[in-house]
Structure 1
Amino acid sequence: MHFLGKMMMSSAADVLLQKETRRKLEQFDKIRGKKVQTGEFWDIVVITAVDKQQEAAYQQQLCKKLQRSELPLGVQYHVFADPQGAKIGNGGSTLYALERLELLYGEQLDHLAVLLIHAGGYSQRLPSASALGKIFTALPMGNPIYQMLELKLATYIDFPRHMIPGVLVTCADDIELYSTGTNEIKFDKPGFTALAHPSSLTIGTTHGVFVLEPSASLDYQDLEYRSCRRFLHKPSVQLMHQAGAVTTRRDSEWSSLKGHGGEMTRVNSEIVYTDSLFYVDHSTAKKLLAFYKELGTLPCEIDAYGDFLQALGTEATGHYTKNTANVTTEDPQLVNVREKIFMLLKGTQLNVTVLNNSKFYHIGTTKEYLFHFTCDEKLKAELNLQSKTFSIISRKAASVCVIHSILDPGSSVAPGTVIEYCRLGPEVSVGENCIISSSCIVTKTNIPSSSFVYSLCLNIDGQQMYATISCGLEDDLKRNVKSLSEIDSLQYCGMRFLQCMDLWGLKVSELMFSGKSTRFGLWNARIFPLSFSLSESVMMSVGMLNTVHSRSPFKISDQRLLSIEEMLSSKDVEGMLLLRCKLFEDISVQL
């Protein structure tokens, strides 16, 4: 969980931000299912995917949304999967998307406003978004229910009307809220234009930080256009100070004192300005596309923020090209590609739009997801998030979020938990801080606190079957080890993995892990039972959770077991959407 813009803001600024956000949401609701006019909205919306299978899943969901009139019409919606081969990162996805758009639209593209949303990846930190995508994450708001795609389109609704043709690049798992007073955010300058948010220095270490020219005014405006000297990618606090990125902000807050009508108090805060989304005009996009074509095949991952924006600014240098500290997988060709990008973009303008009254929320992890949907009173007020959204639930539960679900009156859900696309029977008890998604639980059961449960519909050898991912909320699904001898360093629900396997009656072997990789982790461990029934699938996987908590054996060795990796490769998207559709019908009858 984090915020960009954790500064002290007056209640008036908070109210203004909420008011502006509500206006955008209301404006978007008016055009859902209606044909928009040229210049009124985006001409093209592109969603990137990591592979062809994810592309097909996204296409199916887009088609369903358009059929149900959940999106504006008259817009060209596309999904582009990354080319086969080595991972290319969101920077590579940006370049590839530009190539695909040019093939489709040719010179017409020079006159169009494009929204490019990076939604590739398998969402290992929020597995409930793994099968159907982070951009299709359900939100506790809207009628019909908003997913992240609708929220993106709503919060950016003013942008196309104040934009010269170009491409706006954003990610699928963050929310930007802002108020600009009487001014409008304009994307009308050549080169790159990035939004910047006031942030603590701690937040700055995990984001991009702008080194801005000093402001000519001592008063902070909601919106300021500033020149940028340099862009830092995930810098240390020391580097932020050395580069001149840190500024002291005087925050004003009125407080009523006894015997006085009011007194102004001043608080000085050290802040930096951090990134979120950015815009590229078409002439600069063409330059990037020409580079991509000349390169032929992109041999490594590049980052749209770290590798594009660090090349910009009046004081940009090529030193960053050799810094691989923030790179997940270091490729020997990365430095060479970075150097070429730096030479290509050197001298290109970086315009920064500072949003002093803004918020940035990230919901890409289980912890962030739970906090923002159950406990975060700020975000609830700003987006009017509900504890119950299009659901049948008879009892009120504090700090619980229920989305598109049916809960029997006899069921119980503890605080801090999110239930989405589920059916819970009368004797089902869910503990605190859980995520329960796409599951049908009709048999008496107790789900332990801090559990993650997510069911998938699968196509196995042409037959519809089910499997359910279950694990602890703290489990690191991205972590893996290089040899079987290191397996015991993995943990499942806080217990050593070998202990868990012993309780489940499983033996360690390379066959227990899927894929051709020589790395072993919870992501590719074949530990989840396959079943012909959705409810039986859930019960088997919940039984695995309970046996770890109770330390009593629960044998699954006689079952056919799948890894999460295998479940995603066999997912039946149509089957999952049909289950949601049937749930929709049953809820509609009862509401």
Structure 2
Amino acid sequence: MAYLFQRYKHDYCLAKNASTTAFPEMKKLLTVPPAFKKFGNDYFADENYFFGSDPEGGKVGSGGGTVNLLYDAWQNEGAEGKLEDWLANEKRLIIHAGGQSRRLPAYAPVGKVFTPMPIYRWKRGQKVDQTLISLQTPLFNEILTKAPDNLNHLVASGDVLIRTEDPLPEIPDADIVCFGLWEQADKASGHGVFFSKKNSPKELEFTLQKPSIDKIQELQEGHLFLIDIGVWLFSPKALKVMFDRCGWDDASNTFDGKTPSFYDMYTTYGQA
């Protein structure tokens, strides 16, 4: 597993891109509330979107939700051939936007990514009807365009807007690349935190979820740390491993029990 260190800022209400270059629009797969799924697929039918929802009847975690969305998209496209071949055939952007929206209840039925966003002065390319996803996707498209061909899936959180101040660095060719933000220990303690050894700063050693300030300071002697901003790149091989850990059966081309078993991408896969 490789880990990409990059100085990013995250903000809920400000878009600032270092480049105005237009990058190709990738296929967008979104997890949304069940009530919005059919409407979204009908309304955005010509805009390269696919909408899915987590299975009913139980939590599947971020990893289970990711593979369930990919499985639904594969089924929607005919499910021909092997899953591994389909995972490798194009670049896709996956955004998880199906949370309960407790802080924004008015947008719970459609998902937080469709929250209207104001127009900011001195920023190019904005529209009066723009939403959060309108401001998220340019950077995600740029990352996927510049990533090695092997890294063809980007998984992102749907409730945070990432803005860049510097050009993207070279993205390493690995099975998983994670993006993080340098922060102080007191702020990092409220997030997932990546740790790497000081003598190999671009390789992920392990992750901790909301570690205490004392724990972070204890580890600082031999490690660097960043907070997880919820942007991960995956190769088809890495995604297939996640499918297998969620109960995928190659013989039947489906999951044991018909739905993915619970698997948390951030706490479990991040420790692998």
Separation in structure 1 between the aligned mates of residue 67 and residue 236 of structure 2, nearest angstrom: 13
Q: Which position in structure 2 is the counterpart of 1:279?
A: 233
Separation in structure 2 between the aligned mates of residue 102 and residue 228 of structure 1, nearest angstrom: 31
Q: Structure 1's 199 and 57: CA in aligned 2 closer, same or farther, altered over 3 A?
A: farther
Q: Which position in structure 1 is the counterpart of 2:176?
A: 192
| SS at structure 1 position matched to 2:68 | helix
Q: 2:97 aligns with which of 116, 119, 124?
A: 119
Deviations 1:155-187 (A, max 9, x none): 223212222242111111101112344x5342x
Deviations 1:119-152 (A, max 9, x none): 1122122112112220101110222432111111
Q: Which position in structure 2 is the counterpart of 1:56?
A: 38
Separation in structure 2 between the aligned mates of residue 27 and residue 245 of structure 1, nearest angstrom: 41
Cα displacement (A) at 1:237: 1.2
Q: Structure 1's 290 and 110: CA in aligned 2 closer, same or farther, altered over 3 A?
A: same
Separation in structure 1 between the aligned mates of residue 219 and residue 261 of structure 2, nearest angstrom: 29
Q: Which position in structure 2 is the counterpart of 1:379?
A: none
Separation in structure 1 between the aligned mates of residue 146 and residue 198 of structure 2, nearest angstrom: 26
Separation in structure 2 between the aligned mates of residue 49 and residue 96 of structure 1, nearest angstrom: 12
Q: Which runs of 5+ in 1 are unaligned?
A: 7-17, 29-39, 67-72, 217-224, 248-270, 313-591
Higher strand share: 1
**Corresponding letter in the other structure for 1:274:** I
**Corresponding letter in the other structure for 1:90:** S
8 Å CA contact retained: 1:101, 1:109: no
Q: CA RMSD in A?
A: 3.0
Q: Which position in structure 2 is the counterpart of 1:337?
A: none
Paired-residue identity, %: 18
Give the number of equivalent residue pairs: 240
Q: Which position in structure 2 is the counterpart of 1:169?
A: 155
8 Å CA contact retained: 2:33, 2:108: no
Separation in structure 2 between the aligned mates of residue 300 and residue 60 of structure 1, nearest angstrom: 29
Matched, 1:91 2:63: yes
Cα displacement (A) at 1:42: 4.5
Q: Which position in structure 2 is the counterpart of 1:178?
A: 164
Separation in structure 2 between the aligned mates of residue 246 and residue 203 of structure 1, nearest angstrom: 20
Q: Which position in structure 1 is the counterpart of 2:139?
A: 155
Q: Structure 1's 245 and 116: CA in aligned 2 closer, same or farther, altered over 3 A?
A: farther
Cα displacement (A) at 1:196: 1.2
Separation in structure 1 between the aligned mates of residue 58 and residue 213 of structure 2, nearest angstrom: 33
Q: Which position in structure 2 is the counterpart of 1:128?
A: 106
Deviations 1:349-394 (A, max 9, x none): xxxxxxxxxxxxxxxxxxxxxxxxxxxxxxxxxxxxxxxxxxxxxx
Separation in structure 2 between the aligned mates of residue 47 and residue 112 of structure 1, nearest angstrom: 16
Separation in structure 2 between the aligned mates of residue 244 and residue 300 of structure 1, nearest angstrom: 35
Higher helix share: 1
The correspondence of residues 570-589 of structure 1 with structure 2, limited to 5 A, is: none
Q: 2:256 aligns with which of 280, 285, 296?
A: 296
Separation in structure 2 between the aligned mates of residue 304 and residue 162 of structure 1, nearest angstrom: 24
Q: Which position in structure 1 is the counterpart of 2:188?
A: 204
Q: With the length of structure 1 as denominator, give the TM-score of the two structures.
A: 0.37
Q: Which runs of 5+ in 2 are unaligned?
A: 1-7, 120-125, 250-254
Matched, 1:21 2:19: no
Pair member with larger Rg: 1
Separation in structure 2 between the aligned mates of residue 233 and residue 43 of structure 1, nearest angstrom: 30
Q: Structure 1's 185 and 275: CA in aligned 2 closer, same or farther, altered over 3 A?
A: farther
The correspondence of residues 189-338 of structure 1 with structure 2, limited to 5 A, is: 189-214=173-198, 226-244=202-220, 272-276=225-229, 277-292=231-246, 293-294=248-249, 296-297=256-257, 301-309=262-270, 311-312=271-272
Q: Structure 1's 286 and 22: CA in aligned 2 closer, same or farther, altered over 3 A?
A: closer
8 Å CA contact retained: 1:189, 1:281: no
| SS at structure 1 position matched to 2:205 | strand
Q: Structure 1's 215 and 144: CA in aligned 2 closer, same or farther, altered over 3 A?
A: farther
The correspondence of residues 388-407 of structure 1 with structure 2, limited to 5 A, is: none
Cα displacement (A) at 1:232: 1.1
Deviations 1:103-132 (A, max 9, x none): 336524313111100011221221121122
Q: With the length of structure 2 as denominator, give the TM-score of the two structures.
A: 0.76
Deviations 1:484-504 (A, max 9, x none): xxxxxxxxxxxxxxxxxxxxx
**Corresponding letter in the other structure for 1:228:** L
Separation in structure 1 between the aligned mates of residue 213 and residue 227 of structure 2, nearest angstrom: 13
Q: Structure 1's 101 and 189: CA in aligned 2 closer, same or farther, altered over 3 A?
A: farther
Separation in structure 1 between the aligned mates of residue 41 and residue 222 of structure 2, nearest angstrom: 43
